[in-house]
Amino acid sequence: MNNLVEGLRMRRRWMMLAKIYQGRRFQRSLLGEHWDLLNYVLTVTALGYLFSVLFHRDFAEYWLYLAGGFAPWLFVSAALTEGSNVFVRNASFAREIPMPVSVYVWALVWKLVRISAFQIFVVAAVSIWIKSFSLALLPLCAGFVLVTISSFALILLFGVIGARFRDVIHFMPNILRGAFFLTPILWTLDRREELRWLVDYNPFFYLIEVVRAPLIGETIQAGAYLVAVVIALVGMLAAMLVYALAHRKLVYWL
């Protein structure tokens, strides 16, 4: 726990690292970090047009549904894919620079929060313009906080596991590809009650729904918040336990 707090206090370092991560990705590009947002909008628009035609849905309504679910999905899925590699990717820094390894976790969380916040802002603006409603900021912020806490726990937990068992890093994207199609992001339950079990036992659904529902002006059930809180708490407990047992050995695994 002390290691996590020490890392959190080094705000300038992990914010600088997050900037370095993005700078390397978009080095010498004209739009820089804005490519993340542009790629998101273009992907959602292309998928939205295609599946709105296939599902016989209104394009604007379906675009909001898809965009509202795709943003938190990208946040959580990036936490798993990049999080499982967070310590391995920073191995040279961890071996040579004397600072808590949790700094790399905080840096990745900050990077993902910034990217996701911009995406959610765009969806909120479009949602207000199309539906002309007052955005429920409190439920939306509460949902985003729950997704952030859960993502932090996933990065911390699978970062340790990925450092010890490298196959996890390569296995994770395959799991997420299947999970994407089994989670109601592209499809809805309005005419598919036979798929209800995929929702009821799918933790990704609850983390998506607590952001998507208030974002597109829909009412969210209290049970979804309760499950999302349980996911965040259980995730944090598991992550902190594993990290407490393994953080002194991490450098030797890298």
Q: Is the pLDDT of residue 12 over 80?
A: yes
Q: What is the mean pLDDT of the chain?
A: 87
Per-residue pLDDT at 240: 92
pLDDT for 93-139, tens place per residue?
777 777 778 888 999 999 999 999 999 999 999 888 887 666 778 88
Residue 159 lies in a domain: yes
Residue 27 lies in a domain: no
Residue 6 lies in a domain: no
> How many domains are there within the chain?
1
Q: Which domain holds residue 111?
A: 44-188+195-253
Least confident of 42-46, 195-199, 200-204: 195-199
SS (H, E, C) the chain: CHHHHHHHHCHHHHHHHHHHHHHHHCCCCCCCCHHHHHHHHHHHHHHHHHHHHHCCCCHHHHHHHHHHHHHHHHHHHHHHHCHHHHHHHCHHHHHHCCCCCHHHHHHHHHHHHHHHHHHHHHHHHHHHHHHCCCCCHHHHHHHHHHHHHHHHHHHHHHHHHHHHCCHHHHHHHHHHHHHHHHCCCCCCCCCCHHHHHHHHCCHHHHHHHHHHHHHCCCCCCHHHHHHHHHHHHHHHHHHHHHHHHHCCCHHHHC
CA distance linking residue 205 with residue 214, whole number of Å: 14
Residue 34 lies in a domain: no
Residue 112 lies in a domain: yes
CA distance linking residue 81 with residue 171, whole number of Å: 9
Residue 93 lies in a domain: yes
Report pTM: 0.90
Residue 31 lies in a domain: no
Per-residue pLDDT at 1: 67
Residue 243 lies in a domain: yes
